[in-house]
């Protein structure tokens, strides 16, 4: 018998100090770069999208990689790429920390739609409000030291 698995993660991280430094007109190039990083980790990207101050990733993560290392590698390599590309001159780095939430495959369609609609969604909600809601929905206690 073969081994079967599904390790679906919704990952969210933001720019340093939540500054709007990801220019939307160049974001597809950033997302393509991150997609390549994820593929090199033998993981499958279902969706990536975001706005000027944060990114959402929905991925089936290879089980041989610890989530903390997966996110660190994405953030470090994409930060280097961003700074070298010249496409995002105001970018100063990603903030410390991230959100990583395990998801049910049954919710895949709903999660893809949610990530697809980030730009529309953030016309009504700031990142901090959205992130608080995500933490609450995933049953995570909020540490107020990390919210302004």
* 91-119 average pLDDT score: 95
Q: Is the per-residue pLDDT at 147 higher than 80?
A: no
142: left (phi over 0), alpha (psi -120 to 50) or beta: beta
Q: Hunting for tokens 């770069």 — which residue is that?
A: 33
- Is 85 or 142 the better-scoring residue by pLDDT? 85
Multiple choice CATH, 8-146, 3.40.50.300, 3.40.50.2300, 3.30.930.10, 3.30.70.1290: 3.30.70.1290
* 14-22 average pLDDT score: 96
At 146 the pLDDT is 76
Are 50 and 22 a contacting pair, CB within 8 Å? yes
| Alpha helix stretches (DSSP H) within the chain | 27-40, 67-85, 108-116, 118-121, 127-137
Within a 10 A sphere around the Cβ of 32, how many other Cβ atoms?
10
Q: Is the per-residue pLDDT at 148 higher than 70?
A: no
User: pTM for the full model?
Assistant: 0.93
At 143 the pLDDT is 85
**What percent of the chain has pLDDT above 70?**
99
The mean pLDDT of the chain is 94
Q: Which of the 8 DSSP states describes residue 138?
A: T
């Amino acid at each position: 018998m073969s081994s079967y698995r599904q390790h679906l993660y919704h990952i969210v991280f933001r720019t340093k100090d939540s500054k709007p430094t990801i220019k939307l007109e160049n974001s597809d190039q950033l997302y393509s770069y991150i997609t390549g990083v994820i593929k090199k980790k033998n993981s499958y990207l279902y969706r990536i999208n975001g706005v000027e101050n944060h990114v959402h990733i929905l991925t089936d993560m290879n089980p041989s990689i610890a989530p903390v290392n997966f996110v660190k590698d994405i953030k470090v390599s994409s930060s280097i790429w961003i700074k070298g590309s010249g496409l995002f001159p105001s970018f100063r780095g990603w903030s410390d920390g991230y959100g990583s939430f395990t998801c049910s495959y049954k919710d895949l369609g709903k999660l893809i739609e949610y990530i697809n609609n980030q730009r529309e969604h953030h016309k009504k909600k700031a990142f901090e409000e959205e992130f608080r809601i995500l933490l609450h929905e995933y049953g995570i206690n909020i540490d107020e030291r990390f919210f302004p």
